[in-house]
Structure 1
Amino acid sequence: MPTQSETASMAEISSGPGNPPAPPVLPLTGEIPPPSQSDAPKYDPTVKAGSAEERCKYTLNQFVDSKPGLREFFPDKIFAGYAARAARLVDEIIKLKCPKETAQQFAILVLYDLALLIDDSSSMYTDDDGARVKTLHTLLKAVAEVYELAREEGIMSVRYLNGRQGRKNVTKAKVDEVHKAIRYHGLTMIGTQLQEKILKPFVEKKVMTKPLLTMIITDGAIEGESSGVLEKNIYNCLTSLQSGPKPKTEDAVAFMFARIGDDPGAKELIESLDNHKDMDQWIDCLPVNEKIEDVGNGSAEHWSVLRKLFLGALDADIDRFDVVQAETPIDTSEKVLKLKDHHKVRPLGEEEEDV
């Protein structure tokens, strides 16, 4: 644990002029040799030609080829079991009025574990006359309804910025109980809590069998931690994955940020992350001109927003076609590099296990 003087030094690193050059780091290029002929989709005699399962298998193959690091998780590319589950997912969400072409894109969810990091700060409860709490409840139900089709046990983990008790394997049937148990208090230390509650237990210390998609849902700007901690923690995670043991490549993680409500601080945070020149390959944000409140309201935007939330950080084409009327982005890339290997987050105590 850093001393007070070390902590003060860290703060200076994040903002003071004249800092020494940062230690060299691996470039986040994602450059892995292109697939060879042997990487072509493998023949599976159990899958009928032209079937929904075959279409999903093709979708999964195309997707893994677009992210070469994923080959470490799925080396044979037969996708035994994944294609069948993906076909069921596509069929079920079409029944829920998802447009057919959009539904096919959701097939790639079967390849990912999903974790949620939820803002349970006091403003979620006190602002907008409680509307943000209701929006969160509706969002959790919609996310769980779709994702349990990709993973039968449901959302792998739901964790909170302030609450220490996480919940694992959250299905739609469990959402009411999970939501009712949230106690809104504290600050919005997204960078610190992302490291302690998501990256450390599910990336650094876990034997990963699937890549991890993390959704971060917040209603306000970051409070209670030094500037740049969020970017630094994501950056350090990516560089360590790039140079670490397989299958933990840099394609093992993806991050989706979204805001509840209309807080201008949250808007600024979303825009700065969405335009980050070094990490936009791994980070996506729900555009500020799309509203998370449209989920579950019966509008045509319901599936548009869910598509962005689930797939925007995974599929470059979806991210590429965003139309965001953003203000001038905050350039934090230099700050991230200066913070690397110098700023260690002060532990907040041991986290309780998910229940």
Structure 2
Amino acid sequence: MMRNLITDVPGILVGHAHDPGLGSGVTAVILDPPAVASAAVIGGAPGTRETDLLAPDAAVEAVDAIALSGGSAFGLDAAAGIQAWARERGRGFAIGPVRVPIVPAAICFDLLNGGDKNWGRHPPYRELGFAAAEAAAVDFSLGSVGAGYGATTVDLKGGVGSASAVLPSGHRVGALAVVNALGSALANEGPHFLAAPYEVEDEFGGLGLPPDLRLRAPRWKGGAQPATTLAVVATDAVLTKAQARRLAFAAQGGLARSLTVAHALLDGDTVFTVATGRRGLDGGASDLVAIGAAAAACLARAVARGVYEARSWPGSIPSWSERFGSPGRNGA
């Protein structure tokens, strides 16, 4: 059964944890077993951990999990919580008798969203990371959950979105997005989504294309406030780290297709890619090109779903459903 989630790629589990008072949270992507991974960090204001290990020439071939978190740089502590969860289960990169779980991470800025960020000496993201890993499963919620709990766009509440596809080759591709974008996911004032050409089975309202395809000047948050859309794209293909990195760059196109502003100086836009290695590239380079195109389309759909499924909470800006109609069907 296909769920239209990144977990349609075998070997991927996703869990969320958030604190309503904090107005922030964590999403854990667990790779079981560990998988080849890479990343493309294109935004000008990223906050990341362990991304150097994902370079094609780095020693570590596989990672155990990926941490996505709110909290700006404080949220990088989430990776330590997920790492602790993995260590308790004997997972990690083997160095003699020692195992070190490898957990790359990226964060988005949600410190000005109305939540109480006066947490004292230690930020709460380590414990939220552990809780998110504990909750990981093939079924998970979309919208205002996990790392997307406090997310916003310039005009609407943001959130977590996901989508998947099966290619004619049989390869599976899935995407997960945490939409805390500098710009908007809407065509002009909405309600139509920029990702409308890629929509599958009314997954974000079935509104079709906007009546006027001419886009006016892009709207963005303005000032010096950073913003980020984080993503994980997964495939069941057998890929090298170099191929996974090329896939990450191809998938980044999904952000440009679904947001009015992407890859800007104040963006931390980061896309991780994971290859679980269940199906070979019988078509060689042609398969890799097709997987990259599907990944970009899936990511565009995931961005739209993240906004469509979000809902507001006290102190946050309105959600799509509050402004335009029906509530998200799979939201929190």
TM-score, normalised to structure 1, is 0.28
The higher relative CO (CA closer than 8 Å, separation ≥ 6) is in: 2
Larger Rg belongs to: 1
Which is richer in helix?
Answer: 1
